[in-house]
Amino acid sequence: MFDKLKKTSESLLNDSDAISDDRKELLNELSIYIRERLTSGKDVKLIFICIHNSRRSHMAQIWAQTAAHYFGIDHLHTFSGGTQKTSFDKSAVNALKKSGFKISVEKEGKNPKYKVKYDKKARPMICFSKTYNHKRNPSDGFVAIMTCSDADEACPVVIGAHYRTTINYDDPRKFDGDENREQIYLDRSLQIGREMFYVFAKVSSMLKS
């Protein structure tokens, strides 16, 4: 893992007290599901779903894969999608860069493809906005994690999902006209990172016990 990202990750791990008890209850349920799936010898596929697949769902996908890598948890794959496709927001990309991710543009355009790296030895993640049922995402046997209330309401049933849960995050887009926009995006990214590291710290502990 890149040095700056490792330092950020360790800081997030040490800040789990910032997560409320209600949030931990939701996160614990996800941790238990992941542990049970892994111990049964099956791969875990997580799709983080938001309305536009532009901010929160990408952040969650990237932080979750990074946390699994940090704890050496194999056979886990993360994806993201929306009920609509737009583009991976540049402020969200910049927030992730500030935490230590190496991100470059793989393909330009209205909906650019980004190459996201968290470790020089790991395969980069290719991230771009897409619907949750896009061909690059799994079509069955996956976990659907709803990261915004709009997607949660729009998709009461996600076809192909083996398990569905809701872990909503406030949308930083509401502050796009605010002078503190970049800090708000960074704070949201770190909140998501903190919670994903909490999930996989629990998974790691349960697998060892």
Q: Which three-class secondary structure string do you get for the chain?
A: CCHHHHHHHHHHHCCHHHCCHHHHHHHHHHHHHHHHHHHCCCCEEEEEEECCCCCHHHHHHHHHHHHHHHCCCCCEEEEEEECCCCCCCHHHHHHHHHCCCEEEEEECCCCCEEEEECCCCCCCEEECCCECCCCCCCCCCEEEEECCHHHHHHCCCCCCEEEEEECCCCCHHHHCCCCCHHHHHHHHHHHHHHHHHHHHHHHHHHHHC
pLDDT confidence band for 148 (50 / 70 / 90)? confident
pLDDT confidence band for 159 (50 / 70 / 90)? confident
pLDDT tens, 111-121? Answer: 999 999 999 99
pLDDT at 158 over 90: no
Gap between the Cα atoms of 154 and 85, Å rounded? 14
Q: Name residue 131's beta-bridge partners.
A: 82
| pLDDT of res. 178 | 77
What is the chain's alpha carbon radius of gyration, rounded to the nearest angstrom? 16
pLDDT at 152 over 70: no
Strand 102-107 with 125-127, pairing: unpaired
Task: Select from 3.40.50.2300, 3.30.565.10, 3.10.580.10, 3.30.360.10 the CATH code of 3-208.
Answer: 3.40.50.2300
Indicate the angle between helix axes 56-70 and 181-208, nearest 10 degrees: 40
| CB 82 within 8 Å of CB 155 | no
Nearest CA among 186, 183, 76 for reference residue 125: 76
Gap between the Cα atoms of 190 and 84, Å rounded? 25
pLDDT confidence band for 151 (50 / 70 / 90)? low
Q: Which range among 11-15, 171-175, 183-187 shows the weakest confidence by mean pLDDT?
A: 171-175
Gap between the Cα atoms of 40 and 42, Å rounded? 6
